[in-house]
Structure 1
């Protein structure tokens, strides 16, 4: 039996006054957060998407957010200014964590290790204790940006994509370097583990999507030229059957997670999608809706349906 993916645009969310760089889940399936170059962090409700709620306003652009489920906190990577910890119940800044005065590209929270990892524009990865937010250690293998983080709960591996074109795999508990993969020809902007933890996917400024076998010491399974320009982000669907990529080429693509077959292209011509770079995706379990954000200052909500033929 073959299946086809149908896509319908449900809404366009406006309110940010600059490029929207990142999206993040909340404790509820129908609520997500966005952050932008305007320093505004907003919450949006997919049941009532037209009105965003301002959660925080910081003085510089924000590329990275991370939700801390067990404490209902939101971590904001404020470029040049460190990490802001927001108590979502009171909408107050709980703590400001000073870090090197560079861009913050990604944040990972690993509750079982009580650690927060922050990927920095100077190549450093800062490791904080998740209870106290105290800096425990800094690991720096290159002076080029650490761009993206992904954690594998089965192996306790932390995959980090860097702007020196290398993916480095660390033991998340000890930060001991385990593997280095240097197949990409440009900055590695996004890394994502498959839901079964067996594969690592990576996307780069070289427009290549690469697939790595975790259990084979990260042997490369293959690659595809997935977009015309930079792949900015990769995310899996809630059921793990699909994944989506988004790019500086203004398009979003939906793929079969098992066969890596391209199922759908979402773009401006066919779907009234974004007019500029698509920066981040959030695939919600709420009615299987895919959310995208862009340099065009908007957020789009897509209904993704799989139709069996």
Structure 2
């Protein structure tokens, strides 16, 4: 099988770099935000009708949809988290956490884990929207968080080049992985919990064996410049990486074999750093966000 890539559309509406993407509850819809503070809802079926959901007075690096409440969590640079009802476009509440950027928000059961630029991971009670604990394991930025429900752990990628593994129940630090030679920008557990993938400024894509524990399993020089984000395809068979080198790359999740490169020359991709990717479970559902203020929509199909 080989992959066929088709660029379906380009969404324009942001006034500055786009850093955050999040799926909406409705099929084929998603949210985006970035340096302009605009939170916009998009519908793949109606590309010309971006809907402004909120106007945040600072850069937004993190969005997370709470499927329990229907509220969108928005991480604001230099302030805290806003919870917004995307239907009414009304802010329900907000909480001041830090004077530094919020780079990632992860929701799991009754916990909200927030990665901050001052190196703190703040643990919130998801329902009460109250701080439970501050985890300070580094003075360097905490950039990315993901939870492994099978091992009851969560991984945090830091700008001190490490990945730190915490116990989900006790919130204690379990392992420190000397993962990369430069900042770790993105971590993601495999859907079955067996592997942890990571990427960062050194442009390496790495896989760690969770049960070993966290032995390096694969190391691929994946891009020319930093890997800003990685995520899985809806069927869990592929990984996509978004890079500062202006490319998206699709990999076989099991082997890390490169399957496709989406760039400007071959696919009219982005001309500047690609900061985020989102792969929705619809046919034309691969979305990429860039410093060029644009969102690209891709259709990825398998052909014999």
What's the TM-score, normalizing by structure 1? 0.97
SS at match of 1:101: coil
Residue among 240, 247, 262 paired with 2:258: 262
Aligned to 2:233: 237
Residues 26 and 69, structure 1, Cα contact 8 Å, conserved in 2: no
Residues 8 and 284, structure 2, Cα contact 8 Å, conserved in 1: no
Aligned to 1:103: 101
SS at match of 1:70: coil
Q: Please say which of residues 174-183 and 205-214 is displaced more in the overlay.
A: 174-183
Moved over 4 A (4+): none
In the aligned structure 2, how far is the partner of 1:135 from the partner of 1:214? 29
Once the two structures are superposed, residues 42-86 of structure 1 have per-residue CA deviations (whole angstroms, 9 ceiling, x without a partner) of: 000111122210010010000000000121110000000100011
Structure 1 unpaired stretches of 5+? none
Residue among 191, 198, 215 paired with 2:194: 198
Aligned to 1:94: 92
Aligned to 1:162: 158
* Pairing 1:274-289 to 2, within 5 Å after superposition: 274-287=270-283, 289=285
Residues 238 and 288, structure 1, Cα contact 8 Å, conserved in 2: no
Question: Aligned pair count?
Answer: 304
Residues 145 and 157, structure 2, Cα contact 8 Å, conserved in 1: yes
In the aligned structure 2, how far is the partner of 1:133 from the partner of 1:20? 27
1:178 Cα deviation after fit: 1.1
1:288 Cα deviation after fit: 5.3
* Pairing 1:1-309 to 2, within 5 Å after superposition: 3-111=1-109, 114-287=110-283, 289-308=285-304
In the aligned structure 2, how far is the partner of 1:304 from the partner of 1:50? 22
1:278 Cα deviation after fit: 0.2
1:173 Cα deviation after fit: 2.2
1:154 Cα deviation after fit: 1.0
Once the two structures are superposed, residues 76-105 of structure 1 have per-residue CA deviations (whole angstroms, 9 ceiling, x without a partner) of: 000001000112232111111011111000
Structure 2 unpaired stretches of 5+? none
Once the two structures are superposed, residues 100-131 of structure 1 have per-residue CA deviations (whole angstroms, 9 ceiling, x without a partner) of: 111000000012xx010110000000111011
Q: Please say which of residues 281-290 and 142-151 is displaced more in the overlay.
A: 281-290
Residues 13 and 50, structure 2, Cα contact 8 Å, conserved in 1: yes
Q: Please say which of residues 222-231 and 42-51 is displaced more in the overlay.
A: 42-51
SS at match of 2:50: strand
Once the two structures are superposed, residues 218-266 of structure 1 have per-residue CA deviations (whole angstroms, 9 ceiling, x without a partner) of: 1110200000000000010000111100100000000111221100000
CA RMSD of aligned residues (A): 0.8
SS at match of 1:269: helix
Residues 273 and 291, structure 2, Cα contact 8 Å, conserved in 1: yes
In the aligned structure 1, how far is the partner of 2:169 from the partner of 2:63? 22
SS at match of 1:135: strand
In the aligned structure 1, how far is the partner of 2:128 from the partner of 2:89? 19
Q: Please say which of residues 124-133 and 81-90 is displaced more in the overlay.
A: 81-90
SS at match of 2:211: helix
